[in-house]
Structure 1
């Protein structure tokens, strides 16, 4: 298997990262009836790449960008036992390269960055009806914590 290289995203990676964002949205639409039907964006990727409190990483195989993810430092609620935490998002692996451990490699690199920023609490959101994503995150140490519920009136 070819080596997976993880590196910081650069502005010149923006076009492929915008494609990845649409891939995430396409994958999540079946799980979320609240998403608008027209083209939407979740992120301002250009700002994320240059923000000091966000680490955007990409995975490459043979110089081809095949995955992405970010960690964003957030202020914790005052009643929690940690001052800050990192929220992980923009986790995407090109469908042709799934099953190769790309997501796990990106999360491992994000964990190292978080520790270098003195962050020891990581959080992310995943749709309850997406068991394959839940299993992938559980494999790298995440545990279910809260359940977000909704009702449409």
Structure 2
């Protein structure tokens, strides 16, 4: 019997829902979810058809602006099992991810599904996380990953991820991650996230609450006992181009002047116009927070802070504190996200002035 593999269409919805019911008792995709995946999502829903009947599907999600894909779900009809369809769908999804310039494919699998775990591990997937209480029935999940381009032997995954709890605290969330990486017993708490925002905010942004400036974040880290480097492409008040109201601009200038005065009284190391040498900073034990334009990730033109966890010859790896649930993402989708060096270089230039900014934390040497 010949098997046809193709992209799903809206007409497949009844068969997809029936397959979902046969294969899963919890965590089922709904009609609305399937329709969104087929028509709107940055995703690929591939189906396997045997003798005109839907025998299986695999759904992969792509993380815009990155080199990461996620196998969100795979299902094989009971009568079609044992025919190698899972292997074939997996191979086609990997090929699809490569066509989308992805280097990594990640997935979750129930710890009580040894057959699925064996399939993935047989095809080169490695375990790198255990997630407790992941599924609706409270079962645990294994997090598996495969580098579908050239494999890297080791990668630093020692930076705990912290999800920002408001729309405007990406900077404080990243600062918590950096401090936690340098002090293993440090608690990452919302109370401190909001306190850092109060210390570091520019007061105003293009809309809504103010975000945090590089100077403000550097000072907040310095007050907490860390050695800090502040790297900027330009000096002077930042983000003024995004604010039209002259009164708001005056307030932002005053805040910047106060930050500048406080920096003069600190030992924060400041450099203007220097290039961000990530391999050197990471090798020296630095934990870099980098300002990016979120446009390349979300198509929203706003400044956004991310945490760099590692880099190699091909990729920069990021913790993104902003978990976009509208894209079916979870915190694990925003951890150690691989971004090509070329894409990262474009990403970390903000606004018409191509602003570059980074705050790098180090542990202080014992006195």
- Normalised TM-score (structure 1): 0.78
Q: Distance in 2 between matches of 1:117 and 1:129?
A: 32
Structure 2, gaps ≥5 residues long: 139-367
**Match for residue 42 of structure 1?**
29
1:91 and 2:71 aligned? no
**Match for residue 5 of structure 2?**
6
Q: CA deviation at 1:25?
A: 2.5
Q: Secondary structure at the match of 2:71?
A: strand
Structure 1, gaps ≥5 residues long: 30-34, 36-40, 77-82
Cα distance change of structure 1 residues 20 and 48 upon mapping to structure 2, 3 Å threshold? same
Q: Distance in 2 between matches of 1:148 and 1:16?
A: 31
1:133 and 2:116 aligned? yes
1:117 and 2:100 aligned? yes
Q: CA deviation at 1:84?
A: 3.2
**Match for residue 130 of structure 2?**
147
Q: Secondary structure at the match of 2:49?
A: strand
Q: Which has the higher contact order (CA 8 A, sep 6+)?
A: 1
Point out the structure with max Rg over C-alpha.
2
Of residues 33, 42, 49, the one that matches 1:53 is 42
Q: Distance in 2 between matches of 1:24 and 1:125?
A: 16
- Normalised TM-score (structure 2): 0.34
Q: CA deviation at 1:90?
A: 2.3
Q: Distance in 2 between matches of 1:42 and 1:58?
A: 15
- How many residue pairs end up in the alignment? 133
**Match for residue 71 of structure 1?**
60
Q: CA deviation at 1:52?
A: 5.0
Q: Distance in 2 between matches of 1:69 and 1:96?
A: 17
For residues 44-74 of structure 1, the C-alpha deviation after alignment (integer angstroms, 9 at most, x for no partner) is: 0001011351100000112211000111012
- C-alpha contact 1:21 1:90 (8 A) present in aligned 2: no
- C-alpha contact 2:60 2:72 (8 A) present in aligned 1: yes
